[in-house]
Structure 1
Amino acid sequence: MEPISEPRPRSVPTTALDLLDEKIREVVERRGFSSLSEAQEQAIPLLLDNHNLVLIAPTGTGKTESAMLPVFSRLLSTVGEGFKAIYVTPLRSLNRDILSRMEWWCRELGLSVGVRHGDTPQNERRKQALSPPDLLITTPETLQALFMGSRLKKHLKNVRYVIVDEVHELADSKRGAQLSVALERIAAHAGEFQRIGLSATVGNPAAIGRFLVGARPFSLVEVPVASHLDISVRFIGDDFSAQARSVGKCLDRLGSTLVFVNTRVTAEALGHHLFTRGDVEVHHGSLSKDVRVDAEDRFRRGAIRTLISTSSMELGIDIGHIEHVLQFGSPRQVSRLVQRVGRAGHRLDTISHGTVLATGFDDLLESLVIARRARANECEDIRPPVNAADVMANQVAAIAVEYGEIELARVEQILAGSGCFENCSELLESVCTQMAEHRLIRRDGTRIIRTARARRYLTENLSMIHDERKVEIFDIVSRRTVGTLDESFVIGWVHTGAVFITKGQLWRVLDMESGKISVEPATKAKGEVPSWEGEQIPVPYPVADEVGALRRTREFLRYAADPHAVRYAAGFLARVDGGHFPVPSDTLVTLENTTEGVVCNICGGHKANEALARALSVLISARYGTSVGIEVGAYRILLRLPSGVRALEVQEMLAGLDPAHVGGVLKLALKRTALFKWKLVQVAKKFGAIDADADYERISIHRLIDLFDDTVVAAEAYRELFSDYMDVDAAAAILAAIHDGRIAVTIGALSPLGSEGLSSSRDMIAPLSVDQAVIGTLMRRLEKEDVILFCMNCRKWKSKTTVERVPDRPQCPLCNARLVAALKPWDEPMIAAAKKQKKTEEERALEVRLLRNANIVLSSGKKAVVALAAKGVGPEVASRILATLAEGDSFYREILKAERNYVKTHRYW
C-alpha cells in the first residue's frame, strides 16, 4: 500500500501517545486520559505506519479512540476539499453516539464533523454537499447514496481513511457485502486509502480482515476478551412467573443493570412482569425511536436502574455506567454472550461482570457450555457471504447509474477487489443477462449502460435489508407512538378489542385505520405476545455438540459453580436413567415414537437440524406419499407423521441418506415451500424483477417458479437459504458419522428429553395491575398540554399557558372576573367570533359554547381546565365528567373513559 503521507522525524517514543501530533497529545491530556489502553498502545503505531488494520477488543477498551487518534493526527496535515475520513456504523443510534463523542475532539482540534443518514434534515444535507466536513459519520446504506449525487461523488476523491465500526455485525450479512463493494467504488475515485475495522471478538479474525480489505495486506491487533470477563451461570427454574421473580430479586441486589433477552417476545413478557417496580424499561428495535432514546437517557441519568433489551443494546451505545449484565436464558451463541457481558464496566482496566440465568435443562447445559467457551475465547466464526448474486445486481445497477456507461471488465475489476466477490466472472455474466431482461441495464457489446428504471430501482433498494411494512402503535393515553408491529402479525391476528404486549405492557386495540393502531393500556385481559419475524438466534453446531458431550460425561462440576444448577442437571438425568431411557449425546441419536410422529434427538444445533429435518421430510413424503410436518430445535426434530410411519422407517432413511446428496435433496424439499417462495420474492425484488412494494401474498408460487426456475435468481435464493437458514456441511458431517459408526442410532419410547420439544414456548401471560401507571401517564400528559384562557366577561384578556401553570381558580387580571374559558390551541379562532358585535348564526353558537366552557371553569376551577384539555373532551363531556364528583384517580379514569370513547367513535362524527 502506498504511504498516505510522509512520516515526520520523531524522537524515540516511550508510548504510542508520543507518536501522535503534539496538538493531539494536548487534547488527550485535556480529555483526562491518564494512560492508553492495551488496544490503543498496539493499534496507534500500526495506523501511523499506514497499515490497514483490524482491531478486535472488548467493549470499553477504547477502540474508537484507537482508530481516531492517529486519523486525527494525520488529518491535521491533510489538505484538499471533500470528505477526508468516513466513519461507518451499522446503526443510526450508534451514529448519534459516535457524533456526540467526535464533536468534542473535532472542536478542540479545529476539524469539522458531520453525520448523514436517513433522518438527516435536507438543509444539513445541502450544507454537506456545499461544504463537506473532514469527518463524515454514516451508515452503509447512506454511503450508497453518496455515489448518486454529482457533488457528493466529487467529495469522495479526497478520502484517505475509512473506519468501519462493529465490523463483525456487518461482515456476515448482505449489508456487509454491499459495503465491501462500496469501499472499492470509493477507491475508484480516491485511489488507495487506509481501512480500519473495529470488531468484537470473533473466531476467525482473518476473515474479518479479508472482508474489509480484499486481497490487500492488513495487520491484526487482538486483545483477548477472556481476561476482562467474570461470567457465572445460575439456574432459576422453568416457571416463567418464578423466573421473573428471580430476576427481580437479582435487581434488588445489583446497581445499574442491563438484562439481555434473546427475543422481543421475551423482553415484552419480562418487562410486563417487572413493570410495577418503576425502575425498569424495555428497549428493542420495534419500539419507536423517541421511546428508545427516552429509555437510554433515563438510564444514563439514573432515573431508572434497569433496561431489558434485545440485541438493540449489544453494540456500544453509550448509556453510562453499567455495573452488571444479566442474560435471561441461554444467549445461544458465545459471541453474543461476550459482547453482552462486555457492556458491564465499559471502562478501561475493569472486569465485566455477567450472570446467565438458565431456565430449563437444555437451557442450563447450553449456558454452561457457552460460558466455558466465552472464558476460553472460543467465539463463533464469521462467514461473509461470497458471490451473493442479488448484491451483485444491486451494485452493478448502482455502478451503471454512477458512470452512465462502463466497460464490463471495469465493473468486474471493482467487484473483484472486494473480499465478498471472488472469481465472479461467470456469475457477473449471468447477473447482467438477468438484469437486462428486467431493464435495469442495457448491454452494448462489452459495455453496460444505465437505464431510467435503474435510478428509480436504486432509490427503493439502497439497502440490502429486506422490507416488511411496520404498523404504528399509538397510545391514546400518552398521545405517543409506542412501537410497531409487523404487518404479517397485524393481518393474521390483530382486531378491534384484541390485547397484546409491547413496551412491557398490555394494550387493547381500540381502532385500526390509515396504517395505525390506536390502543389503550389494558388491565384486565390475557394477552398474546406480538410476533416479530426472524429473531430466533440459532445455536451453532459446535455448541450443541459440546452440550451432547456434557450430557454424556456429566462433568457438571467442571462447568458450574452454582450447586443448585449442578443438582438440577444431575437430578434431571437421573430421572431419565431411572426410566431406562438412553441419553442422546454427541455420540448417540435417539428416535422416539410419539402419538404425533417421531422425535429425533440430535445434538446438531438449529441449522444442521433444519437441514436434516427438511431432507428427511421430502424423502418420507416421496416414499410414502404423505405430507410431513416438522418442528426444529437445537437438540431435537419433531417429524409429524401418519401412524404407519414410525422410528424404524426414519432410521432407515438416515442410514440411506448419502451425505454428498444433502444439498440436492434440500433443493427438492424447498422448491414448493412458503420459505422458498418468501426468499425468492425477496431476491427477485433486489434484481428489479418484482416491484419493491409488490404484495408477497398475491404472487403465485407456480408463477414464480415458471419465471425464475434455473435462473441466477433461484440459485441465489437457494444459496442464501443454505448458508443463513441451514448448515448443510454440519448436517452432512452428522450423517457421515452415523454411517461410519461414530454416532449410534437407537429407537425407543418418548423420554423426558424428547418430550421437551413438544411443549409450546408461547405463554399467555396474566397481566399485573398497571392501573396506577396508566393514571400517572395521563396526569403527566395533561399537565403539559397547552391551553388558552379567555375572559368571557370583558372579552379583552387572553393568555397562552400550560395546564400545570393554571391557578386553582382562574381569574381575569383586567376585570377580576372568574368567567374564564379554557380552550385547546386549535380552538383559538373561536375567540375572534366571540369579540364580534354582529354575529352570524354559526358565530352565536360558538359564543354559547364558549360561555358554557367558562361557566364550567367558574364552578369547578382548575379541575375543569384539566378535563377540557383532554382529547375529544368539550363542554358537554367535561360537564358529565365533573358531574360524577369523582376525585383523584377516579377523576382521571373518567377522563380516560371519555378519550377512549372519542377514539372509537370520532370517525363516525
Structure 2
Amino acid sequence: MDEFGKLNGRVKDSLSKFGFKKPTRIQEKAIPEILEGKNALLIAPTGTGKTEAALFPVFSQFSKGPKENGIKILYIAPLRALNRDMQKRLQRWQEPLDMDIQVRHGDTTKTQRRKQAVNPPDMLITTPETLQAILPGSRMKEHLKSVKWVIVDEVHELAESKRGTQLSLGLERVVHQAGNFQRIGLSATVGSSERVANFLVGSSREAEIIKVGSTEESSINVKSPMPTEEDAKLSEKLNATPTMIARLQRIKEIIDEHDSTLTFVNTREASETLGSKLKFWDSDYPVTVHHGSLSRGFRINAEDEFRNEELKGLICTSSMELGIDIGAIDFIIQYRSPRQVTRLIQRIGRSKHRIGASSEGTIIAADPEDVAESGVIARNTHLHKLEKTKIPENSLDVLAHQLVGINLDGVQKAQEVFKIVKSAYPYRDFSKEEFSEVLTQLLNQGLLWRDNQKLSRGRKSWKYYYTNLSMIPDIKHYKIQNIASGESIGTLDEEFVVGKAEPGVTFICKGEAWQVISIDEDLVKVEPIQDPYGAIPAWEGELIPVSFETAQNVGDLRKSIDEALNSGKEPKEIAKNLQNKYSLDENSSEWLVRHIDKHRKEAPLPTSKRLVIESYEKFSVLHAPFGSIVNKTLAQILAALISTRIGASIGVKSDPYRIAFRYPEKKDTRALEKTLRNLEPEHVDPLLKKVLSNSSTFRWRLLHVAKRFGAIKKDADFSKINGRRLLRSFEDTPLWKETEREIRLKKFDVPKLKNLLGMLREDKLEIETVERSKGQGPTPLGVSILNELASAGEIVVPKRAERKILKVLKRRLSNRQVKLFCLNCQNWSKLTRVRRISENPSCKNCGAKFLGLVPQKKRGVLEAIKKEKKGEDLTEEQKTAARRLKESANLILTYGKKAITAMAGHGVGPTTAARILAKQHKNENDFYRDILRAERVYARTHRFWD
C-alpha cells in the first residue's frame, strides 16, 4: 500500500502539489511507525528522503490537532547552516498547513527573538546550544510546554560528543516542562544503532530502529596514479613530488569530467595544500577550499558559488560531511584514506544526492600503506562494518552546567533534579555519591546554594549558565614564525602547543620540517631543520583516529599477501586477486604487493598477530597494528617506563601501525623489548594515571573542564595560568575526575590494551626483532614514521641543506632596514637597507666613519646623545642607550658593513656582535652560522631577561 495514503488530507494534497509521487523505502518503513506515535531512529543514506520520512507523519499529526499557541515541533540540527537549509526547504509547507516555521540560533537578531517570545512559531528549527539558551527563559519556557515532537538531525554526530550529552539532559528538561513527546532521530551512518537510539530517547523509553540501505550499491574504488615524465617536469614548477603531481592530475581530470565534485581531505592543512597547488597550476581553475578555520563569510560564499555552478569543485574537510545544501554533487574524491568507515559512508553519500541514484566516489591513495588502509575501509563499507559509537557517559562538567540550568528552570529539590538527570541515557548508571560531589562543588563555588533544603541561585548562576552554553572549547591559535626569514608560516592550535611544542621539538607544517626555538604569548618561533626524524605533523591532533579493527584488518591483509608470496604465487597474480576484494585498481594493488614483498625480504612482516621491534641507529620502532588510540595509550606508558629505565627523556610518536622512539644513545634501543615484555596488564591503570597527571595535555584539558564548571573564567588564558597551582587547586575534585574521564574516552583505550598485553603474556601475540645498520636504513614499513612526510603527505620536504637556511638568512639580513647616525658631527643620519650600504660607510656630511646603529625600537637614543653633548643629566636608561650606540659605532669603525650585518640579526646587540666579529671565520657561511646561533639564543632566552 502507498504509505502516503495514511497521511492527513492536507499533507497528501501538498505532497502531490510539491511533486512527491510515491514514497521512498525509508518513507515506506518509517511513516506508519511514526504515525503510531513511536519514537524512531531513522538510518538511511543521504538523499533517500529520510528527513521527509520524519516530517510527513509529524506534519500529518500536527494538522489534525486544534490550532493552539506554543511550540509543537522542535527540529534540532548541529550546524546553523543545516538550520538555514531546513527553513528554506520547509517554507512552502507553511501556507497549506497553516504552520509558522522559524529558525533560532546564535545569529538570530534580538528583534526576531522578541517576536518569537511574544508569538511563538509552531515549529522551531534550532541548535543544541540555542535550546539550552531558551529553556530557562520565562516566556520561551512556557512555549516549550506545548512540544509534542522533537526531531534530531545528524544524531550520530551529536551522540559522540559532550554537545550530545548536554542535549540529552536538555531534552529531559523539556520533558519536565511538557511531559513526554515523540522523538525521531535522523542519520546516514550509525556504528551502534541500539546505543544511539537509547541516547535519543533516554534511559527508560524505547525506540524503533528503522534502517534501509542504498537503492543500489555505492561505487567506491581505490586508485594510485603513477607519475609520468610530464609529471616529473611539472613537479619542479609546483614544488611537489612527481607522485603528488600524478595524483593532482587525476583529481583535476575527475573534476573536469564532472559538473560538481567534492574532494574530501582529512585535515585543514591538506585542503590548503591541494587548493594552492591546483590554483598555482591554473590560477583560474574553478575550485576553492572549505574548512572550519575559514571565516563564515568565506564558507557561505564558497557554498553559494558551488550551488550556482560558478565552481566545479570544493576541497573540503569534515565541514562538508553533514547535509548542507550545496546543490547536486556528481562525484566524491577522498584524498588519502578516510581513516574510518563511517566517514567514508557519510562522504560518499553526498554524491548523487537524489532518490534512486547510486553514490560514486574514488579514494586517491598516496602510498602503499594508504592503499592497504583505504582498501580495507572500502571493503568494510561494502560489508557495512562500521566503527562502534562511543557515547560520553557521566560527564561531570556537562552535569554541573545542567544542574544550574535545571534550577533556573524552577526545579528546587535535589532529589527531583537527580531524577531528571538519571532519565538521560548518558547518566542512566550515575550514582548519588557522584551527584552529591558535583552539587557540593557548585555550592562551594557559590553557583548554587541551599536554603531550607531547597536549591537556590543568584546573579552569578545566570552569568555562569549563559556564558557556558557551548561545550566546544575556545581554542587559542599561535602564529608560527620562521626565525631565519622572519616570515609567517601558519598557525598552531593551543592543544598542540601545550601538549607537544616545546623548544627542541620538531614538527611538520606547510610541507617542511621545523624545530621549535621559543614560545611566546601568541608566537612560536621556529627554524627549518634538515633532520625530520621524529617530526610530528602540526595538525596531528586533528587527524581522525583509525580504529583497532581497521588496523587489525590491515595486519590480516599483510599476512594474506605474505602467505601468498610464500606459496610461490607471482606478485601480479596476488595483486589481481586483491583488486575485486578490496576495490583496488591495478596500480594500487601491484604497488601494495611490491611494498610488502620488499619489506618481507628485509625483515619480519608485522601482522595482526605478530609484533616486530625494529632498531636503527638511535631509534626503535614497535610495529603494532593496534590502531590510533591503543597505540597512543601504549606509547605513553612505554615512553614513561623506558625514560625511567635509561634515566633520560626520549622522543616518541605513534600512528595506527607503529610506535617510534628516539633515544639519547644507540645502546638504549634494547630497552624497548625488555620493557614491553615486562609490562603487565595490571600496571596499565596506575602508570597511565601517573603519566596523565604529569602531562601538559592533562593541564590543558583540566583548564577547559574548569571553565565548563565555572571554576575559572571562560576567557582565561592557559599561558598565564600556573600549571602546578591549577593541579593543586583541583586535585581530588570532580574537575580532576572529569579530566581523567574525558582523556581516557577520547585519547586512550585501556581495556583493549590490557587485553592485548594479556595475549602477549599467553603467547597469543609473538614478538620478533630486527637490527638495521646505517647502510641498510630503516625497513620499508618503518621509514614512514621515522621520516614523516608533509601535511598532506606529499609536499617536498627537501633534506634542507644548511646552505639553503643560510641563503634565506642572508637575504633577510641584507633586506633589513637600519638607521645610521654620525656620532662625530651629529647632524647626519640615514635610514636604509643593509644591502645598500658600502663596505666602509661614512658620514655624507662630515666624512667621518664613526657611525652608530640606532636600534629600531629605541629611536629616543638620539635624544640621549644630544643631551649628553650639551652636558645635561641622563637617566640610567639613556646612559645605557648612549653607551650601546657608541659600542656599535666602534664596531662599524673596525669591521665596516660586516658589523652592521651582524647587528641586523634579531636580538644581536653590540656585545654579541663583538663576540661574533672577533672570531676567525674560515668563510662567509661560518659568519652567518654564528649570527643564526645568536638569534636562536635570543629567541629562547629573551623572555626571561629583566
* TM surpasses 0.5: yes
Q: 1:531 to 1:752 in 2, by over 3 A?
A: closer
Equivalent residues of 2:442, 2:448 under 8 A apart: yes
Q: Does 1:29 align with 2:52?
A: no
**How many angstroms apart in 2 are the aligned matches of 1:156 and 1:645?**
69
| Among 196, 202, 215, the residue aligned to 1:208 | 196
Determine helix, strand or coil for the equivalent of 1:752: coil
| Among 419, 423, 426, the residue aligned to 1:417 | 423
Equivalent residues of 2:618, 2:668 under 8 A apart: no
Give the alignment of 1:758-769 within 5 angstroms. Answer: 758-762=786-790
Equivalent residues of 1:204, 1:382 under 8 A apart: yes
Equivalent residues of 2:663, 2:669 under 8 A apart: no
Equivalent residues of 1:647, 1:747 under 8 A apart: no
| Among 546, 569, 591, the residue aligned to 2:592 | 569
**How many angstroms apart in 2 are the aligned matches of 1:657 and 1:66?**
53
Q: 1:250 to 1:715 in 2, by over 3 A?
A: same
2:859 maps to none
- What does the per-residue CA deviation read over 1:821-860, in whole Å, with 9 as the maximum and x for residues that have no partner? xxxxxxxxxxxxxxxxxxxxxxxxxxxxxxxxxxxxxxxx
**How many angstroms apart in 2 are the aligned matches of 1:314 and 1:583?**
36
**How many angstroms apart in 2 are the aligned matches of 1:727 and 1:530?**
22
| Offset of residue 591 of structure 1 | 0.8
**How many angstroms apart in 2 are the aligned matches of 1:449 and 1:629?**
51
**How many angstroms apart in 2 are the aligned matches of 1:244 and 1:323?**
19
2:303 maps to 296
**How many angstroms apart in 1 are the aligned matches of 2:386 and 2:495?**
34
1:68 maps to 55
| Offset of residue 596 of structure 1 | 3.3
- What does the per-residue CA deviation read over 1:747-775, in whole Å, with 9 as the maximum and x for residues that have no partner? 113311011111233369689xxxxxxxx
Determine helix, strand or coil for the equivalent of 2:191: coil
Give the alignment of 1:167-316 within 5 angstroms. Answer: 167-214=155-202, 215-225=204-214, 227-236=216-225, 239-275=243-279, 276=282, 277-316=284-323
Q: Is 394-403 or 229-238 further displaced after alignment?
A: 229-238
Q: 1:122 to 1:90 in 2, by over 3 A?
A: same
Equivalent residues of 1:173, 1:384 under 8 A apart: yes
- What does the per-residue CA deviation read over 1:60-119, in whole Å, with 9 as the maximum and x for residues that have no partner? 011110111111111113342111000000001111111110112223322001100000
**How many angstroms apart in 2 are the aligned matches of 1:322 and 1:235?**
23
* Aligned partner letter, 1:92: R
**How many angstroms apart in 2 are the aligned matches of 1:457 and 1:240?**
50
**How many angstroms apart in 1 are the aligned matches of 2:325 and 2:694?**
46
| Among 703, 715, 720, the residue aligned to 1:681 | 703
Q: Does 1:593 align with 2:615?
A: yes
Q: Does 1:539 align with 2:546?
A: yes
Determine helix, strand or coil for the equivalent of 2:171: helix
Determine helix, strand or coil for the equivalent of 2:125: strand
| Among 730, 742, 752, the residue aligned to 2:780 | 752
1:885 maps to none
* Aligned partner letter, 1:459: Y
* Aligned partner letter, 2:211: E
| Offset of residue 566 of structure 1 | 1.3
**How many angstroms apart in 2 are the aligned matches of 1:680 and 1:486?**
17
| Offset of residue 227 of structure 1 | 4.2
Equivalent residues of 2:618, 2:666 under 8 A apart: no
**How many angstroms apart in 1 are the aligned matches of 2:735 and 2:333?**
43
Q: 1:766 to 1:627 in 2, by over 3 A?
A: closer
**How many angstroms apart in 2 are the aligned matches of 1:659 and 1:530?**
31
| Offset of residue 303 of structure 1 | 1.2
**How many angstroms apart in 2 are the aligned matches of 1:434 and 1:725?**
26
**How many angstroms apart in 1 are the aligned matches of 2:81 and 2:107?**
11
Q: Does 1:728 align with 2:750?
A: yes
1:362 maps to 369
Q: 1:131 to 1:689 in 2, by over 3 A?
A: same
* Aligned partner letter, 1:431: V
| Among 132, 136, 141, the residue aligned to 2:120 | 132
| Offset of residue 36 of structure 1 | 1.0
Determine helix, strand or coil for the equivalent of 2:364: strand
Determine helix, strand or coil for the equivalent of 1:406: coil
**How many angstroms apart in 1 are the aligned matches of 2:70 and 2:2?**
33
Give the alignment of 1:477-496 within 5 angstroms. Answer: none
Determine helix, strand or coil for the equivalent of 1:379: coil
Q: Does 1:55 align with 2:62?
A: no
**How many angstroms apart in 2 are the aligned matches of 1:155 and 1:484?**
45
Percent identity for Structure 1 against Structure 2: 40
The count of residues paired between Structure 1 and Structure 2 equals: 716
1:638 maps to 660
* Aligned partner letter, 1:682: H
Determine helix, strand or coil for the equivalent of 1:583: coil
Give the alignment of 1:416-435 within 5 angstroms. Answer: 416-424=422-430, 425-435=432-442
| Offset of residue 634 of structure 1 | 0.7
Equivalent residues of 1:333, 1:539 under 8 A apart: yes
**How many angstroms apart in 2 are the aligned matches of 1:389 and 1:228?**
43
- What does the per-residue CA deviation read over 1:675-734, in whole Å, with 9 as the maximum and x for residues that have no partner? 111111111111111111111112222112211122211111111111111122222222
Equivalent residues of 2:224, 2:247 under 8 A apart: no
Give the alignment of 1:358-757 within 5 angstroms. Answer: 358-403=365-410, 406-424=412-430, 425-444=432-451, 446-469=453-476, 534-554=541-561, 556-557=578-579, 558-579=581-602, 581-643=603-665, 646-749=668-771, 750-757=778-785
Equivalent residues of 2:215, 2:356 under 8 A apart: no
Q: Does 1:117 align with 2:105?
A: yes
2:883 maps to none
Q: Is 217-226 or 452-461 further displaced after alignment?
A: 217-226
- What does the per-residue CA deviation read over 1:512-555, in whole Å, with 9 as the maximum and x for residues that have no partner? xxx99xxxxxxxxxxx9995684211101100010010011126
* Aligned partner letter, 2:310: A
| Offset of residue 569 of structure 1 | 0.7
**How many angstroms apart in 2 are the aligned matches of 1:597 and 1:672?**
25
| Offset of residue 670 of structure 1 | 1.4
**How many angstroms apart in 2 are the aligned matches of 1:252 and 1:348?**
25
* Aligned partner letter, 1:82: G
Q: 1:272 to 1:529 in 2, by over 3 A?
A: farther
**How many angstroms apart in 2 are the aligned matches of 1:261 and 1:22?**
46
The Cα RMSD (Å) is 2.7
**How many angstroms apart in 1 are the aligned matches of 2:409 and 2:478?**
34
* Aligned partner letter, 2:414: L
| Offset of residue 358 of structure 1 | 0.6
1:832 maps to none
**How many angstroms apart in 2 are the aligned matches of 1:394 and 1:236?**
52
Determine helix, strand or coil for the equivalent of 2:782: helix
Determine helix, strand or coil for the equivalent of 1:667: helix
Equivalent residues of 2:790, 2:796 under 8 A apart: no
